């Protein structure tokens, strides 16, 4: 896994991001674009709950392959005080 993917996984599982900030980010233009790229949110959530690392890694790779995804990742890092 690339360093960006490892950092993204840590951000998503750390619980350090304020849910209200995360919601605003998800509803942003970049967030909406990324959601459309990732496809079936319910299936992705189920895979995460089951601990399916391959599905999570694939989603992160898709996310980080787009300018919108990289911007969201940087914003999440900023929310946690990491840059």
Over residues 48-69, the pLDDT tens digits come to: 788 888 887 888 888 889 898 8
For residue 22, give its domain range: 3-79
How many domains does the chain contain in total?
Answer: 1
Share of the chain above pLDDT 90, in %: 0
For position 4, what pLDDT does the model report? 61
Cα dist from 78 to 23, 49, 51, 66, 68, whole Å: 15, 26, 26, 19, 15
Over residues 32-48, the pLDDT tens digits come to: 888 887 778 888 888 87
For position 83, what pLDDT does the model report? 42
- pLDDT(20) > 80: no
Q: What CA–CA distance (Å, rounded) separates 31 from 24?
A: 9
């Amino acid at each position: 896994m690339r360093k960006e993917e490892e950092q993204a996984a840590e951000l998503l599982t750390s619980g350090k991001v304020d849910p209200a900030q995360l919601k605003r980010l998800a509803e942003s233009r970049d967030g909406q674009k990324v959601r459309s790229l990732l496809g079936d949110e319910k299936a992705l959530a189920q895979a995460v709950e089951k601990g399916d690392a391959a599905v999570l890694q694939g989603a992160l790779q898709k996310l980080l392959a787009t300018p919108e995804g990289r911007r969201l990742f940087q914003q999440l890092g900023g929310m946690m005080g990491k840059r």
